[in-house]
Amino acid sequence: MSKIVALLPAFNEEVALGSIILRCKEHVDKIIVIDDGSTDSTSKVAELAGAEVIRHHKNMGKGAALKSGFQAANDADVIITIDSDAQHNPDEIPLLVAPILEGKADVVNGSRYITGADENTPAYRRVGQKVLDKATNMSSGLHTTDTQSGFRAFSSKSFPFFRFEEKGFGVESEMLVDAAQAGLTVIEVEIGVRYDVDGSTKNPVSHGIRVLFKIFQDMELNRPLYYFATPGLLIFLIGASLGLLFLRDYMLGISINIGPTMLAIMLTLFGTFMMFTGIILDSMGRMIRQNR
């Protein structure tokens, strides 16, 4: 028998939390609620519903909450993460757990978009999610359709590989990058989602920018060809194109300004430097991964 533990990060979720816990109980052996500095009755509701509660004295972010939860559930065979605002359906937990119990996956990501766009997803959300999906997949090398999903399952094999350096919502992307870097098998299963219960107080634009910035930080180390070589190639081509135009003008006897000419030379050199930096870092990364 496998021990399945559900982790519910919660910040001021007293309204929906009790029902989510009761529904999760039908599919897991233990429920841990991480009260991330709530100022309402989140902890009390969780305890009354029968969950174990970990309390943060101040709001530290979802990444910090998941880190506390994984540490507390390190004896589990499977960990389920599910949002505590009732967006996810706990009856879909068996769908996420099955591939792990069958030995087909180490990480299972619940996706709203496997079969295409979800009609319930607001347009402004999906635009931002597509940007984050593309950036995360570039950084991780995966082909995940819903990189920001909080409904996931993890095998015990995967636990040691997660850094939890990202304290906020960027942890969703960070965990996928960590799983890919560790060579874990990541698959997706289709899930549903509700948006009529969304109680998020975060500005979606600023939140998305922060997550995207963190993804690019990871990309610097994990995908240097994307981070350095690709923009370096673009800069080199711009500089080279300007240089060819100035060379043409020189051959035709047209007067040339020294400023733009120097700019072309600098762009060409800087682009070349960035390309070689990306290639060298990528080679070093491959050697380090092979030696592991």
Q: What tokens does 183 get?
A: 């060579």
Task: Kindly state the average pLDDT of the residues 9-24.
Answer: 95
- Interhelix angle 204-222/123-140, rounded to 10 degrees, is 10
Written as one letter, the residue type at 115 is T
Q: Model's pTM, two decimal places?
A: 0.76
The whole-angstrom separation of Cα 246 and Cα 261 is 7
Which fold does the domain 4-222 belong to in CATH? Spore Coat Polysaccharide Biosynthesis Protein SpsA; Chain A (3.90.550)
The whole-angstrom separation of Cα 93 and Cα 153 is 8
pLDDT at residue 206, as a whole number = 64
- Direct distance between the N- and C-terminal alpha carbons of the chain, in angstroms, rounded to an integer: 32
pLDDT at 54 over 80: yes
pLDDT at residue 262, as a whole number = 86
3-state secondary structure of 39: coil
Q: Which residues contact 219 (CB under 8 A, 6 or more apart)?
A: 135, 138, 139, 226, 227
**Residue pLDDT, tens place only, 176-225:** 999 998 999 999 999 998 876 655 555 556 666 777 667 766 666 677 77
Q: Where are the domains of the chain?
A: 4-222, 224-291
Taking Cα atoms as reference points, which of 149, 163, 137, 142 lies closest to residue 192? Answer: 149
